[in-house]
Each structure stands twice: as C-alpha cells, then as structure tokens.
Amino acid sequence: MHSIVSDGTDTPSELLKHVRDAGITLFSLTDHDAVNGCAMIREILSENDPKLLNGTEFSCRDEHGKYHILGYNYDPDSKSIKDMVEAGHRYRMKKVRTRLDYIRDEYGFTFSEQDTQDLLAMSSPGKPHIANLMVRYGYAPSKETAICDYLNKAPVHSEYVRPEDAIQSILAGNGIPVLAHPAYGSGDELIVGSEMDQRLRRLIEYGLQGVEAFYSTFPPKLRKETLSFAEKYDLYVTAGSDYHGKNKFIPLGKTNLDKAAEIPGGMKRFLEAVDYS
Amino acid sequence: MVQSREENGRLIISLSGEIDSSNAQEVETRIYEIRQQYPDDSIELDCDRLEYASSAGLRVLLRLIQQTDEVILTNVHSEMYEILDVTGFTEMTEVRRAYRVISVEGCELIGMGANGMVYRIDPDTIVKVYRNPDALPEIHRERELARLAFIAGVPTAIPYDVVRIAGGGYGTVFEKLTARSFAKLLAYDDKPLDEVVQMSIDLLKLIHSKVIRSDTLPDMKAVALDWADFLKDYLPAELHEKLHALIAAVPADEHLMHGDYHVKNIMYQNNEILLIDMDTLCHGHPVFELASIYNAYVGFGLIDPDCTMKFLGLSAETCYTFWRRSLELYLGTQDAAVIDSVEEKAMIIGLARIMRHQIRRDGMNREDGRKMIETCRSILAQLLPRTDSLVF
Amino acid sequence: MSNTVFEMNGTTLTVKPVGELNSMTTPDFEEELRTHLSGVSNLIVDFENVDYISSAGIRLFLGLNQTLKNRGAEMKLIHVSDPIMSIFDLIGFQDVVTVE
C-alpha cells in the first residue's frame, strides 16, 4: 500500500485506521523511493495494533527494462537504505522537473508558484500528482488522459536506480528484496513466459529473494504463472494490494490471497523470515 | 450491446457489435451494473456476436479481467481472437475460440461406432460426430489425447479442431486416411500374418517408448486396481486379496499405452502404419497393454468362438496365432516357458476385467453371462495362487 | 518432389520442397533429404512452395527434429503459409519444432 508520502491519498494515520478497520493483522507500507511513512506509522502504533513491516518500493531500470523492487523488513537506520532512498528521490525530482518543463514548453500548461512548490516539496511526487493538478486546472478532462496523452510523451532520459543496486542496498539493510507485480513489469506491461523467466534469473543473480505473486489485479492465470516461477526458483511469495487510496480503485487488503487453495510454501517461509506467526 | 443471462449458476455476459471510444463508457457502466447483482465474482464473456473492439473497448475488457476474480472469454471469432492474442489477453486469461460450424448434410457416411458416426467432409478430412449432445468434454479430452500422441511422434491422423455440427452436436475433424485396417489385410490375405504381426509389434514398441506427461492420461494401474476392488464380492477372499496385491505391486510406469490395441485400430497406408481411436490412451506397465490385447484376440472369445469373427472379422485360430506370435516378438524370445508365463500374467488382468465387465452388464442374470463369469473365476482360481508377480 | 532444391552453405542446409508433403510424396522426399544430412548442423526447411502437408509430412519433421536435436544440430521451418500455420497452431507443433 502507498500513503500520501508517495502517490497514495491516505495520510499514514488514516492508513493505519483503515488497516485496523479492515481487520488486517500484518501489513507493510511500501511508498515509492521513501521510508518515512513507515516511521510515522510506527510512532502511533499501539500494542494491540496489526504488525507493521517496514517497506519501500524502488523504481528501477536497466538495459532490459523497468522493474519495481520491494524491500521488506529492512533496518530503518541502515545507511544503505537511506542512500538508496535519497538517490531514488533525486532521480525522481529530476524526472518531475523534466515533465513540468515539457508540458509547459509543449502545451503551455503552467501552475501557480504555490502549487509547484507544494508538488516539489512532496517526498515522492510522480505522474499522478502532476495529472491531478492538470485536471484541476482544466488542462485535461481526466487523470488517465493527462497521463496517457500528455505526461507519457515527455522524453525522460533521466538517471535511474539499477535493479542490482536496489537489491544490494535492501540486502545490506537486512531487508528482503521482492519483485513487485512481476507479470506487469513496471506497471502496465505484460511480461510472461520466457521473458519473465529471463528477468527473474537476472534478478535472482543480483540477490532477489521473492516475488509478489498475489496482487490485486492479477487474474488467476498470471497468479498461477508467477507462483510456478516462485516454486521453480525457490523464492519467497508475498501478497500486495497496491492500495493507493483514491488514486487507484483498489480496496485495501485486496490481494487475492483468499483465492489460493492453500498458503504456498514460499509465503510460509516469508512469514517465518519476518517473525510473523 | 450488453446482455446477461445465467447458466448453471454462472453469470454470462454477451457482448455484441462494436465497442469503441463512442460507447466504451456505456458498455463498462452496463457491465458493472450487471456485476453488482451477482455476488459470485466469476464471469463468462460470450463474444459470439462481438465484431470489433478498439483500444478503448480493450481497456474495458482489461479492467474487467483485472478487477474480477475470473473472466473467461468464449466464442471468440478469428479476427477478434487475433486482436486479443497480439495484445496479450490470451496470456492473462482463458480465451476460447468460437467453434467452427460444419454441416454433414450430404456428406458420405463412412463409419459408425459406439459413440457416433464418421462422415467424410472433403477429400482430405473426416469428422467424427458424437451422438451424445453433452459429449463436449469427452470430445475435447479425446482430441487432446490424440494431439499429444501425434506431437510425441505416435503415427496417427492429424486431429484438427473440435467443431459444432449444424443441426446439433459436436465433433472432431481428423485427417482422412486412405488406409485399410490390419484386420482387412489379414482377412483378404493381402499380407502374410507374420509380416502383419511384426508391423503391429514394431508400432506397439514405438508407443511404449514414449512418455507423455499430462493430467488427461489415465494411469492404468489405478484403473486395474478399481477392477480388482469391484470383484471383492465376487471372488473368494484370498483370491481377491492376491489379485489386489499383485496389481498393487506393479511399479508405477509413465510410458504410453494405447489401451485398445488390436488389428481393427491399426491401419496400413502406403507402407506406413497408423493408429486410430486414441480415446483409450493411458500410461502404465506394458503388462496392462498385453492384458487388453489378450482380451481382444482370445479372452472375449473364451466362451464364444464366433466372437472374434463378429468383432475382428478373423477366426479364433488366426487370432490365437496372432496373439502368441505377438508375445514372441514383443518379448524377443521363442522360449515357450517365458511366453506362457507372460501370457498368464496378461490373462489375470484381462480376465479380471472381463469378469467385471460381464457382472456390470447384468451377466449374472443371463445364461451366457453366468458361464463367462464362471469361466473367468475358475481360470483366476488356477492362475492366481501360482503367480508371484505381474511384472516381466 | 523431384523439384526439391537443396542448398548447402557451410554446415547449413536449406531445403525447399515443392507441392504436397503427403503420404505418397513424403517417403521419397525423406529419402532424398537424408542423403544430404551428413555434417549438417543447421537445417532450414523453406515452405514457400509447399501447398499441403499431411500427417506423414508433419511426422517426418517431428522425427527429423528429434534426430537433429540428439546430435546437437538444429532445424527450423520458414515461410510457412497461413493455412499450414493454422494446422501447426491447432496441433501445437511449435511447442516442439521451431517455426518462423
């Protein structure tokens, strides 16, 4: 799940309330290239609350494509994680500025000084935030149009975090690196069969330990395919809703884990690894 | 554009016409209204009358697939299938093509079997039409078995597609063979018996050398154990226990078996031998195959010597010779003691099967049935005590 | 099949059969093909001039594919027409043999 710290709409405290209401017993906040939401929740967590797992999601890229790599249960004071968050943030800000420049130069879309400042002050701003502003200013009829017809056209040649660096930093911070929504690549691709196989082999070589086989918008076929790779390579299995508050229509806690006939071995081992029983 | 119905408790939404940016929103809203009324989150999307979906239409389908537990697209026509295939939908969920519809009216009827009729639809293809209108799952199963065997290199006719027959029912289209069965070759003395046996055993060995991993392929050992269990009430306890123990001790075996291997199912075409009727394909130790061969040539004829003539068009003597010669070649020996011993193993399984078959077909209430059951029982009573293993 | 063209380039053999590969023509084609196979590490079968293929023809390629694989060589079929490709699709031929 994501909070307002990245591209969600719930504040960390609202999120905690929703998690409590949903009856969830173990959860992780995985804001993009950010870790401070977890610290904020941990401060207000009381004894009978659900267990929180430190989480984050790094956007990565190399010659072969784009990846979202989740880091779970890392040591929040680890320098390697902090450095990686900082690098991710730096690259992200550069991309946001490129996009803002692009829509200004290309279409003449400008925002007030205050709105621009607010946007740049966010810890993890991205396309959805710019799109929201565009809709508010009447530059685009919907968020989808704003992203597809305008923002995605911006030539973004910025630097990226490489997957091996993200994985190594998570491992160095005693965390567990997990590939998010493997069949969707970085979100809206479709990667299956030998392509997924090759991706996983590369990432496993870098130290990847798990795959998010249970994902809110995986149809059964993609879930099964991801699970079979988890079994083939003996990987941890995790479940994620990718809840973004009002920014995506996904109910909190919807991971389709309830559709599994039994909890896969890879998930049992993951739960043991994070001391959850 | 969007209609819904319920069949066997499953929600079916049928789409028709074209879905593009002008109506995608409306279609999506309508689908969500329908879904709200059904708590069970599994949908069949009937695309029989769907002509086209633009990218806006595909986005509606994508969201539906991603936000529903299970969506299956059925009756998808070729053009739409191509679109769904290149856009990756076929990777994400089950997309079933529409059945081709063919008419057999005026086609030459070239065969009739227990399950249905065989028509020639053009010079190169035939269609096997099933009598039972609900046979679709069985048709798919048989076709899949034939396909797996074909791809594994077992010589058989190409199993093309499953089709809908105009006027009712379904069928499978096969390549038409211009072949004669081994039974005919023998009946008309076209080839010497030894040569025919040699060819049939060469092919049998080829089949037995293949391994096909598939859930659709039954394990013959499990099937034979069921036969033994069925006979519990019809055999003395010690015989039943021995029979069960002998079958249980046969090692698991993944090798392919035909399951109904006799001269009527083996075809000859331009120096090539081919198999037909793949619905009995299974896997297991070769003793189970020999048992079914024994039954076809000898077992079923035990109390009715005319049986082989009626069924295979061959005399009981020819069939017996064929059987013994088959064993010699399969086992690669002329040592009568070895052949006798394997024959007995095959007889045990074969006769257990015939005995069950007779009882289930109400044989206890018929004169010939009672005689057959008694014959099986007395032979089993002789053979079982002196047999230590069914394996050779 | 007398019009079949064989072209050897290094250890790559390109063969271009003509007409129908059915149970009548396949045995001769196979015999001729096998005489060209020694030392071939890469067999390319060009289907441009093939009008029809029966089970006998498909079986030949299934068998050849296995033979070549066993000795570390490769085979692929090219320029396959749509009607023949749809037969390959139906039987899952591409799960076993490379078709481009």
Query: Across the strands, what pairs with A240?
Result: A215
Whether residue A99 lies inside any domain: the answer is yes
What's the pLDDT at A159? 77
Dihedral, CA atoms, A80, A86, A91, A97, nearest 10 degrees?
170
Whether residue A254 lies inside any domain: the answer is no
Whether residue A37 lies inside any domain: the answer is no
Structure tokens at A276: 């959850």
CATH code of the domain covering residue B279: 3.90.1200
Question: Do B78 and B197 sit in the same domain of this protein?
Answer: no
Whether residue B391 lies inside any domain: the answer is no
Question: Do B201 and B319 sit in the same domain of this protein?
Answer: yes
pLDDT band at C1 (very low <50, low <70, confident <90, very high): low
What's the pLDDT at A232? 94
In three-state form (DSSP H/G/I as H, E/B as E, the rest C), the secondary structure along chain B is CEEEEEECCEEEEEEEEEECCCCHHHHHHHHHHHHHCCCCCEEEEEEEEEEEECHHHHHHHHHHHHHCCEEEEEEECHHHHHHHHHCCHHHHCCEEECCEEECCCCCEEEEECCCEEEEEEECCEEEEEECCCCCHHHHHHHHHHHHHHHHCCCCECCEEEEEEECCCCEEEEEECCCCEEHHHHHHCCCCCHHHHHHHHHHHHHHHHCCECCCCCCCEHHHHHHHHHHHHHHCCCHHHHHHHHHHHHCCCCCCEEECCCCCCCCEEEECCEEEECCCCCCEECCHHHHHHHHHHHHCHHHCCCCCHHHHHHCCCHHHHHHHHHHHHHHHHCCCCHHHHHHHHHHHHHHHHHHHHHHHHHCCHHHCHHHHHHHHHHHHHHHHHHHHCCCCCC
Contact B91 A218 (CB under 8 A): no
Question: Do B335 and B188 sit in the same domain of this protein?
Answer: yes
Residues of B in contact with C91 (CB under 8 A): 147, 150-151, 158-160
The distance between the two most distant Cα atoms of chain A, rounded to a whole number of Å, is: 55
Domain that holds residue A126: 95-153
A30 touches A1 (CB < 8 A): yes
Question: Do B204 and B307 sit in the same domain of this protein?
Answer: yes
B332 touches B342 (CB < 8 A): no
Question: Do B188 and B58 sit in the same domain of this protein?
Answer: no
Identify the domain boundary among B98, B125, B159.
B98
End-to-end Cα separation, chain A, in angstroms: 21
**Number of domains observed in the structure of chain B:** 3
Whether residue A116 lies inside any domain: the answer is yes
pLDDT band at C40 (very low <50, low <70, confident <90, very high): very high
Over pLDDT 70: what percentage of chain A? 100
What's the whole-number average pLDDT of chain A? 92
**Number of domains observed in the structure of chain C:** 1
Residues of A in contact with B72 (CB under 8 A): none
Question: Do B34 and B106 sit in the same domain of this protein?
Answer: no
Domain that holds residue B215: 180-386
Whether residue A109 lies inside any domain: the answer is yes
Question: Do B225 and B366 sit in the same domain of this protein?
Answer: yes
Across the 392 residues of chain B, what is the mean pLDDT of every consecutive 10-residue run? 85 93 93 84 90 91 90 92 90 91 90 82 90 84 91 91 89 89 89 93 95 88 96 95 97 94 90 87 96 96 88 92 96 95 97 95 91 95 96 94
Structure tokens at A188: 């809206």
Question: Do B90 and B7 sit in the same domain of this protein?
Answer: yes
One-letter amino acid for residue B304 of the chain: D
Whether residue A123 lies inside any domain: the answer is yes
What's the pLDDT at B216? 82
Whether residue B209 lies inside any domain: the answer is yes
Question: Do B38 and B55 sit in the same domain of this protein?
Answer: yes
**Number of domains observed in the structure of chain A:** 1
B7 touches B41 (CB < 8 A): no
Whether residue B258 lies inside any domain: the answer is yes
Identify the domain boundary among B98, B113, B144.
B98
What's the pLDDT at C2? 60
Structure tokens at A43: 């401060």
Angle at which helices B136-151 and C55-70 pack, to 10 degrees?
Answer: 50
Whether residue B392 lies inside any domain: the answer is no
CATH code of the domain covering residue B26: 3.30.750.24
Across the 277 residues of chain A, what is the mean pLDDT of every consecutive 10-residue run? 90 93 94 92 91 94 93 94 91 90 93 92 86 93 88 82 95 96 90 91 97 94 94 96 87 87 92 89
d(C-alpha A254, C-alpha B261), whole Å:
53
B27 touches B1 (CB < 8 A): yes
Domain that holds residue C54: 5-99
Contact B69 A193 (CB under 8 A): no
Identify the domain boundary among B65, B98, B131.
B98
Contact A218 B94 (CB under 8 A): no
CATH code of the domain covering residue B109: 3.30.200.20
Q: Which residue of B has its CA nearest to C52?
A: B124
Whether residue A134 lies inside any domain: the answer is yes
Which of B86, B92, B93, B96 to mutate against chain A (most A CBs within 10 Å)? B92
For chain A, helix (H) and strand (E) counts, in that order, are 10, 6
Whether residue B9 lies inside any domain: the answer is yes
CATH code of the domain covering residue C25: 3.30.750.24
